[in-house]
Amino acid sequence: MTDSRTCNRLGIEMADRRRRPSPLFTFILCFSLWFTPGQTVDSFFGMFLQQCIEECPAKYFTSTYGVPCTDSCDKRGSDYYWCHSSSGWDYCSPGVNIDYFGSTCRNDHPCGNYGEKSKMCYLDRGGWSRCSQVEPKAMIQNTINLQECKTHCKYYDSGDYFWCNTYDNWDYCSPLPDITYRDVKCRAGHKCGTYGEAYSWCYTSFNDDWDYCGVIHPGECAYSQSFRRKRQPDFPNVICTTEGDNNNRRVTTFTEEGQSSIMANINNRMRNEALNLINQWDNQRLSEQARSNLISSDHLRIDNQGLINRNNQRCYNLQIQINKARGSSESTTVSQVICPLDTPADYIRTAFRRSLERQARVIVEVNDGPSTSPNNNNNNRKCCKRRKI
C-alpha cells in the first residue's frame, strides 16, 4: 500500500473543480419517528419497519478455510454453492444454518465445527453436511467512488487515510458516518453525499472547504434520528430489523447510556487504532467467564468483564481498554458495549464504533415478536428477510 494513488485519484481534479453552489440535500432514508401521545412502541416500530429492505445483506464465509468470500455465494451452474476466497475456491452456505446444497440444518445441531476443521451441521432430513458461517451486515460501507467495501474500512497509518478492498481493487472510505476518508468531520448540516456528482463528498467548514467521504448505507440496521428516550442526547439511534423463520420479527436497538466522563479522553491516532481493533472483532474467545485481552493492539485491548442481567436477558459487558495502569479517578475505557449473548459479531462491531463515536456506553436490546408481513406477502414485508433456500 503506497500513497501514490492519493495524488492520482484526488489531486487531478481537486485544484480545477470550482466551489459548488448551495447543494441539494440527498436523503437516503427519511424518518419522522417521534413518539406522540398514545403511541405505543409497537406502533412506532411498525412505522419504522415500513422503511426496511427486501433481503438482508450478509457476509459469506467459506466452509473449509473459514475466510470471507471475495464474490457471491452462488451455484454458478453447479448443484452446490461455492465462492472464491483469498485461499482459493471453496464451498459456502447461501443462508444462516443452511448447508452448501441448500438444505436446512437442525436447530439443535446448527452450523459449527464440532471438533472438525470444516464447519458442519446435522440436517433436518438426516445426516451431516458441510456448511459455513453467514454473518449479517449491520451497515454497508461505500467508498468515495460509490463502490461497496467487501472488507472493513481500515486506517492506514503511513498515509493517514482510511481504505477498504472492493470487489475490483481498493478505494478510500469513511470509518464512521459523515467523516471524510482523512478523518475530518463533515460540517454541521451537510452530510456525506453525492450531490449530483459521481463521487461522495461533504463540506468540512463554513468556508466551503470540502473533501471526499464514503456514504454508510443501512444494511440490517439503520439510523433513526428522532428515536430517543427521556434525558438521552438527541443523537441518532441504530435500529436493526430482521424477519426469520415462521414469520418472526426481531428488532434490535442500540442506545447510548451514561455521560462522556465515564470514557477516557483519547487523541485521533488512538481512536483510529481502536477502529482497526474493532474491525478485528469476530466474537472470538467469548465465553460466560470474565476474560481480559480477547484481542489487542499496540495500546488497546478488548476485555469481557463478565455477564450481567439486563431486562431479563443475560448480557456480555465488553470494553475496549487502554493498556496501562489506571490512576485514581481515571478511566481507561474508550468504548463499552452491553449486549445479549447471541448478538452477531457485526452488531457488536457497530455498537463498539457507536460507543467510541459518542463517548458513551451503548446498550444493545433485542425484542422478538410476530412479523407484520401478512401471509408472507413480499409486497407487504416490513423488514429485511435473511436469505433462506
Q: What is the DSSP string of 329-354?
A: T---EEEEEEEETT--HHHHHHHHHH
User: Which range has the worst mean pLDDT, 24-33, 64-73, 124-133?
Assistant: 24-33
User: Residue 261's pLDDT is what?
Assistant: 67
Instruction: Residue count of the chain, please give it.
Output: 389
**Could you tell me which residues come within 8 angstroms of residue 64 by beta carbon, excluding any fewer than 6 positions away?**
87, 90, 91, 117, 118
**Range(s) of the domain holding residue 68:** 58-135
Give dist(CA 287, CA 306) in Å, integer.
Answer: 8
Do both 126 and 166 map to the same domain? no
Q: Residue 274 domain-assigned? A: yes
- The overall pTM is greater than 0.75: no
Contact between residue 241 and residue 220 where contact means Cβ atoms under 8 Å apart: yes
Do both 79 and 164 map to the same domain? no
Q: Residue 255 domain-assigned? A: yes
Give dist(CA 270, CA 298) in Å, integer.
Answer: 10
User: Confidence band (pLDDT; 50, 70, 90) for 262?
Assistant: confident
Do both 253 and 345 map to the same domain? yes
Q: Residue 242 domain-assigned? A: yes
- The answer to whether residue 377 scores a pLDDT higher than 60 is no
Do both 274 and 356 map to the same domain? yes
User: Residue 381's pLDDT is what?
Assistant: 32
Do both 213 and 230 map to the same domain? no
User: Residue 252's pLDDT is what?
Assistant: 87
Do both 305 and 270 map to the same domain? yes
Q: Parallel, antiparallel, or unpaired: how do β-strands 221-224 and 333-340 relate?
A: unpaired
Helix axes 268-279, 345-358, angle to 10 degrees: 170
Q: Residue 351 domain-assigned? A: yes
Average pLDDT, the chain: 79
User: Confidence band (pLDDT; 50, 70, 90) for 168?
Assistant: confident
Do both 253 and 350 map to the same domain? yes
User: Confidence band (pLDDT; 50, 70, 90) for 170?
Assistant: very high
Q: Residue 275 domain-assigned? A: yes
Contact between residue 389 and residue 99 where contact means Cβ atoms under 8 Å apart: no
Mean pLDDT along residues 343-361 = 91
Where do runs of H (alpha helix) occur along the chain? 4-6, 12-14, 41-49, 268-279, 345-358
Q: Domain count for the chain, please give it.
A: 3
Q: In the listed set 135, 152, 171, which residue is the last one of a domain according to the structure?
A: 135
